[in-house]
Chain A
Amino acid sequence: MKKNEICPVCGKETEGKVPCPHCLTDTTRKIRLLYLWVICVILAVLGVGAFLMHVKASGEEPISISQIDTWMDYSHNLIEGTVTSGPLYGRNYISFSVSDFSSTDPEISTIEVRVYSPAFEELLMERRIPRVGDRVKIFGQTRVLSERDKMMTVSLASDIKIQPLSPVVSTPSDVLRNVALLYKRVTIEGVVTSMRALGSANIYYISDGSSEIQLYVPLGLEVYVEKRPLGLEVLDRVRITGGVSSYKGTPQLMVGLFSDIEVLGKEEPKLVRLSEISENLIGSYIQTSGKITLSEAVGTTTSLKITRRILWLDDVNMPKAYIEEEIFQTLPPETKRLVRRGSSIEFVGKVEKREGKLVVTFVGPQIPNVLEGEFLPPIAENLQTLEVDILATVAGRIVEISTREKGLLPPDRILMVESPSGLVQKVLIPNFVYERLPDPPRAGENINTVGKISVVGGEKVLHVCSIEDIWRV
């Protein structure tokens, strides 16, 4: 080294010293240019490889839904498949199920897709609602709790590509029979024969005369999207364009919007008097009327809920009207108030046989004609001399109140009522009636009670069936 040599790193004079006293660089250590070339080539090859992998990974190749496992929780994926259920609507989202049938187990090859606001509103505005049967390609973030419980959240409306399926004309019978129509879109015509009101949806039954298919209408569609009730009534003739989904193995029609349902007209029900109802009419829908002589509430053994109301009409021998509580609760408040003893009612029902007796099942949705009136069964002098299942009135003073245990539920009450003649008769108030009384009767009070005669503990009692049937005098 020369005395005035300069350090190639710090640029200061080294005075020939190695390493550089200023920056401690050892200038004798050098890398060969060949090695540098080799390193550069390796890096270039690795770079090209990484780029190719990136290009492949970022390509629009959908992943098989059955391959989405818990390791892919929170990952973003592209899926492609057929809408198999939905759409369901929440306050700020729309959800539906997509399956690509990549596994023999449908649960594994199905994923629930949710689109939240504002993408949800965008889809609605563009009327791009994925319906059962449509082919969809969706990009979103997956949440995977298990192989059978996975969900995809979509943030942008543009991340959903829908290829709508054209509907085929069919009938309810064909849809129920023909498995090839599952997850296809169909247009059917039929008559609304009844409805079931669930907490989150209404299920309408559409009949073509020989078979009935269920039409699933989510309440979210009414409340958050259309913002009005569907307004279908029993015996409406409708044309529905919907997708054929399946619930517990039974085909079910699902619609995206109210515009998928068109009311064509109304079938006129056959007018039949109660006395004319016979076994020949079983299964048919009739319009009938009668005076309510008793409104009998039916409870359960596990709660104080009312499950059904049985209307005794005209005479005890006439067919009774059965109203399921979920249907009863869909009636307007004033109609509900009027459906009581003494009122006259005209309604559409289905003739059926229950427990060996002909009955008319009140079908919804409908608003019956109800006219307020009064009816009081004859006063029973002695219940023991009367037949079971007839109506009677017991009047008198309560001399004692006892209970009949009902397990964990509140007990039934048995009132010992002394009539003016001095005879003491038993009145049974079931727990679900007693607990609903605003001011239950007490011993020593004079009351009137109406009910049906039944047997409890080998003894005939008056069975009170609703809260209107017991009052103080």
Chain B
Amino acid sequence: MKPVGPSEEVFCPNCKRYVGTLEKCPYCGSKVPKRLSFRLLKWGGLSVAVLGVLFLCADVRGLHIIAKQPYQIAISDLFKENATLMNMGQAVLTGKATFVKFYEDTNFLGMYLVDPENSEASIFIRAYDATTKALIRLESERLAKGSPIPAFPAVGDIVTVRGSLRVRAVGDKANQFQMLIVQYPEGFLKIERPTGRKVRIHDVVHFPENFTEYERLEVTGKVISIDDLGFAKNLTLYEVETQESMNIMIPKFLERFGGAYPAIGAKITVSGALQSYYGTPQLWVASWEDIKVIP
């Protein structure tokens, strides 16, 4: 077989044996000089690879020159026949939060988002501890600054999230499990907290058909009792004009952001997301800003 390449580069200058592309002779250990282009190719290639990875990191995080934002999809799309093809894909979803829970034992955040156009379609959103802790920190900073844009989601919010999808089968049934994992706090792209619609407690109790579950309402009344349920405190709000009352739920989690419960007897205006508890209406407060004591 005929050696390929200039003989001074493919044969060892010391022992004269064939060494091919090796820069060090495997037989005698002598250095075999190569052309500059070879070294350039090797180190240049390595540099391009490192820079490329760094660029990709920067691009994914913010530049978005090559890596564009994932597609915005409807939550209902995850229930279509071929939705499993989206498994492990990145996606942007928007929905109304109908359940938000901070898991004290794991520091995870769990949330259900319902498709605004189709209340039958919902997806579970999971943020693990690092992301959740970062969200708590961001919410604390927001409250300190007095910014009106929430950083931590609550029931009734319209939330847009970006994350990694899980759409897979359960047992022998395809497309039964839908979940989106938000890997970093920036994945919560937008949290919109609708202004509460001013209503009377009497109307909510007696005409529930005029209200949508999880819509945000604003009611006014007197606090007549505060009961500790463990996961939340339940304020019974009494509307003196109509003699009707309603339960106001303040998640225990909000205590992480300071705040103080109103005193029994205090007149307050409170906003929250409407929920039916076995047919009885109650409001879930999203943050301490939702409670205003009327002097």
List chain A positions with a Cβ less than 8 A from chain B.
Answer: 12-13, 17, 19, 21-22, 24, 118, 145, 155-156, 158-159, 199-200, 219-220, 222-223, 302-305, 333, 408-410, 431-432, 435-438, 467
Tell me, yes or no, whether B265 is within 8 Å of chain A by CB: yes
Q: With A156-B173, A199-B277 as known contacts, state yes or no: A21 contacts B265, CB within 8 Å.
A: no
Tell me, yes or no, whether B279 is within 8 Å of chain A by CB: yes
Would you give 19 A-B contacts (Cβ < 8 Å), ordered by A? A17-B18, A22-B20, A155-B176, A156-B173, A199-B277, A199-B280, A219-B278, A303-B225, A303-B236, A303-B264, A304-B222, A304-B224, A304-B265, A409-B265, A431-B265, A435-B238, A435-B265, A436-B238, A438-B241
Alpha-carbon distance between A304 and B267 when the two chains are bound, in angstroms: 13
Decide if B17 touches A410 in the complex (CB within 8 Å): no
Alpha-carbon distance between A410 and B266 when the two chains are bound, in angstroms: 9
Chain A residues near B1: list those with CB within 8 A: 12-13, 22
Chain A residues near B265: list those with CB within 8 A: 304, 409-410, 431, 435
Chain B residues near A118: list those with CB within 8 A: 176
Q: With A12-B1, A305-B224 as known contacts, state yes or no: A220 contacts B278, CB within 8 Å.
A: yes
Alpha-carbon distance between A222 and B276 when the two chains are bound, in angstroms: 13
Alpha-carbon distance between A435 and B238 when the two chains are bound, in angstroms: 9
Decide if B171 touches A155 in the complex (CB within 8 Å): yes
Q: With A156-B173, A159-B171, A432-B224 as known contacts, state yes or no: A437 contacts B264, CB within 8 Å.
A: no
Tell me, yes or no, whether B52 is within 8 Å of chain A by CB: no
Q: With A13-B1, A145-B105 as known contacts, state yes or no: A303 contacts B226, CB within 8 Å.
A: yes
Tell me, yes or no, whether B26 is within 8 Å of chain A by CB: yes
**B244-288 residues at the A interface, CB under 8 angstroms:** 263-265, 276-280
Q: How far is the CB of B261 from chain A (nearest CB, A)?
A: 12
Partner of B224, one of A12, A303, A438: A303
**B40-55 residues at the A interface, CB under 8 angstroms:** none
Chain B residues near A333: list those with CB within 8 A: 206
Chain A residues near B236: list those with CB within 8 A: 303, 305
Q: Closest 3 A-B residue pairs measured CB to CB? A: A303-B225, A410-B265, A219-B278
Alpha-carbon distance between A454 and B265 when the two chains are bound, in angstroms: 25
Decide if B17 touches A17 in the complex (CB within 8 Å): yes
Q: With A304-B264, A305-B225, A410-B264 as known contacts, state yes or no: A155 contacts B170, CB within 8 Å.
A: yes
Decide if B277 touches A21 in the complex (CB within 8 Å): no
Q: How far is the CB of B78 from chain A (nearest CB, A)?
A: 14
The proximity string for B residues 202-221 relative to A, scoring 1 for CB distances below 8 Å and 0 otherwise, is 00001000000000000000
Decide if A156 touches B170 in the complex (CB within 8 Å): yes
Tell me, yes or no, whether B37 is within 8 Å of chain A by CB: no
Partner of B263, one of A22, A223, A408: A408
Alpha-carbon distance between A22 and B20 when the two chains are bound, in angstroms: 7
Decide if B171 touches A200 in the complex (CB within 8 Å): no
Q: With A199-B277, A219-B278, A304-B264 as known contacts, state yes or no: A438 contacts B240, CB within 8 Å.
A: yes
Q: With A304-B264, A435-B224 as known contacts, state yes or no: A219 contacts B279, CB within 8 Å.
A: yes
